[in-house]
Structure 1
């Protein structure tokens, strides 16, 4: 006979802990369990600052036992599969767990097979990632002696889509301090078409790109990393227009790139081979290619893209009405951030409560709100808050911090990022308190 809970939550990250905490704090139920194998819970938004040498990595971690809400049962195990028709979750060693309502929030995982060579190169030598080892990023920045500093990202969805840029802006400032900026070209190669999807934020960031003299390269899909020769290989995901500028290659091949591909061109060393375009780097920072965990991907819960198939407003599963999903694993057309989770949790909690009480979901609707705190310098930040339609939606509470326009750089936003948000996270969000 399977152990049964009224609400079963998969995942002890931000989404899972917040959901459990709010359910219990608001006395919606006293039967909550969280399946989570990890011993440690991390506040990952601070890893950008760790990678730039301005935050203590140890302060981003707490024992999982300290953040599991009082009243929730911690099943320290891995979920391995679903039987939604029978309201069961399979686990690695605890048998089947039964539920009335299921919240799927295990976050995402990294699939290095999508970019051959990256897994072997990651967090070694001059290849780094704040997503996986921010302390190594800081070592790479300190050891960098000049050349091509390449900042890039995969074509998959990633946590906080702005993070690959944040470390670039901080690195540029650090290179000035360390005296290597004058012999450094900074390149940002992205599969995207613009620097940021919200026009007010994009305008500010392009001014910062100009100020920091950074070379942007769009339509660049990272497909392979050659760590031995320090080359990042790309496929250009748009056909160049005739007559565009030519990026020279040391080989006999050349590739034409029109002006839509490149902004503030720098003559860095490149190679062309088999239709691919290689940028030679002296250091590289990237985000790893991200996917839903295998036990989710291989289940009947996912959409065609491999993320949990939920209604984007109610967060209720499209096929199984007693299943909800939120956070990074949910198939939502918005940025995967902790700020998004902050707005998603109350909707999931309200809907589960109403299903339990009245067999219906509520009228609360998630509008796709997400937020990306874009650190642009030591002591400066821009706060991008937006919805599904990429409308700029600044929080009215920012006025209390004397911030009139959060689309512009402000030192108060830096203080919020470095001190305010970590405090709110540990002491409010994870406790189920309203933020």
Structure 2
């Protein structure tokens, strides 16, 4: 949840605490019946709603979404590094939701799947695409620290705070630059490292690196879940003199004392199934699902066709047969012009699209992340026209056989 850069002292307390991420809902209104209710207008909600609307016709799909703006969240890392601006990352929600669907500008307050009812709406099928809620208040002192104008603490995960990151980099003079990865579900597990590498690159470009102690404190037991890419990342942090502390979790920020408090972790990872085990007409997609894959827009693209086909199958009384392979892509931006394009599946086995070694830093992959992926997201994924690079991968690798 937090990717921070701070100039703080840090220590490890004796008493351990834990932080959790809770999805919550608020608001209520009457909607009436609909064939399919999609709760959430993010990437997954938009993509599947577009597919279903085209299949079922106008007015059959209702989208419950309270926000006025739709953010392309993968861009937040680039905003934090001063490569993009916040205004580049969003469009009006009314412009991205499918025109054949009905938009109800409200939030769900309660689910009753036994009665096919969501308080604000009811219907035949439910797709939960609510994303993750950012609970900054779960870390004592963090909200206060984020409220200090031109402060030393920042986060790339919220449009409210993302501009603070580049401001903090510009204001940094000397001391500890600490980047963190929490022990809760996060959007794109590579994002904290992306801003770590961009931030370190910025300090070198601005002639501040010799006065900076760059630290990456991660709650994870590994630097990256896929060894194929982790091996290369270890080489990068060693070459760039970045101190990595694994199983280290931020639990408190004390802004008036310039302190960040961390704990040592030894918590086993839990995995869950991707579909609802009790209600056959309830589906989930994206960040809010229990799928153990990395929470990325690329995962949503691959999931969207699976969810769509399974929903159509159930509508016709057929047992769903489509299986999601856990595909995820994480463009690990390592500087202002380089990127490692990580692609992998549930088993953390590389699932690379291009017939090259994608574990290496490449300029081409940086510009793909920076310039090609945003239009692909806005024009194809949100309109239900992009199901991930699976077909392209087969073509590229078939040509080599």
Q: TM-score range by the shorter chain?
A: 0.7 to 0.9
Match of 1:203 in 2: 231
Structure with larger RCO (C-alpha < 8 A, sep 6+): 2
SS state at 1:377 partner: coil
Report the Cα distance in structure 2 between the residues aligned to 1:178 and 1:10, rounded to whole angstroms.
45
Match of 2:190 in 1: 162
User: By percentage of residues, which structure has more strand?
Assistant: 1
Name stretches of at least 5 consecutive residues in structure 2 with no aligned partner.
Answer: 1-29, 388-401
1:18-70 CA distance string (max 9 Å, x none): 11011123457750010000000000101101110111221111000000101
Contact 1:44 1:60 in 2 (8 A): yes
Report the Cα distance in structure 2 between the residues aligned to 1:102 and 1:205, rounded to whole angstroms.
40
Match of 2:157 in 1: 131
Q: State which of 113, 131, 134 in structure 2 corresponds to 1:107.
A: 131
1:197-256 CA distance string (max 9 Å, x none): 1011001101110121100111212211111112111121259xxxxxxxxxxxxxxxxx
Query: Structure 1 324/375 Cα, relative in aligned 2: closer, same or farther at 3 Å?
Result: same
RMSD of the alignment, in Å? 1.8
Match of 1:378 in 2: 336
Q: Which has the larger radius of gyration?
A: 1
User: TM-score, normalising length from structure 1?
Assistant: 0.78
Alignment of 1:261-280 (within 5 A): none
Query: Structure 1 166/430 Cα, relative in aligned 2: closer, same or farther at 3 Å?
Result: same
1:77 aligns with 2:139: no
Match of 1:347 in 2: 306
Alignment of 1:38-49 (within 5 A): 38-49=67-78
User: TM-score, normalising length from structure 2?
Assistant: 0.84
Report the Cα distance in structure 2 between the residues aligned to 1:416 and 1:206, rounded to whole angstroms.
23
Report the Cα distance in structure 1 between the residues aligned to 2:344 and 2:109, rounded to whole angstroms.
34
Q: State which of 305, 318, 332 in structure 1 corresponds to 2:291.
A: 332
Match of 2:26 in 1: none
Report the Cα distance in structure 1 between the residues aligned to 2:376 and 2:147, rounded to whole angstroms.
30
Alignment of 1:182-201 (within 5 A): 182-201=210-229
Name stretches of at least 5 consecutive residues in structure 1 with no aligned partner.
Answer: 92-96, 240-304
Q: CA deviation at 1:112?
A: 2.9
**Count of equivalent residues:** 352
Report the Cα distance in structure 2 between the residues aligned to 1:134 and 1:340, rounded to whole angstroms.
23
Contact 1:354 1:362 in 2 (8 A): yes
Q: State which of 329, 341, 364 in structure 2 corresponds to 1:412.
A: 364
Q: CA deviation at 1:360?
A: 2.2
Report the Cα distance in structure 1 between the residues aligned to 2:245 and 2:147, rounded to whole angstroms.
24
Query: Structure 1 211/28 Cα, relative in aligned 2: closer, same or farther at 3 Å?
Result: farther
Report the Cα distance in structure 2 between the residues aligned to 1:335 and 1:2, rounded to whole angstroms.
34
Q: State which of 88, 96, 114 in structure 2 corresponds to 1:59.
A: 88
Q: CA deviation at 1:194?
A: 1.3
* Structure 1 runs of 4+ with >6 Å offset: none
Q: CA deviation at 1:320?
A: 0.7
1:164-210 CA distance string (max 9 Å, x none): 11101011111111111011110001111111010110011011101
Report the Cα distance in structure 1 between the residues aligned to 2:50 and 2:115, rounded to whole angstroms.
26
Contact 1:35 1:78 in 2 (8 A): yes
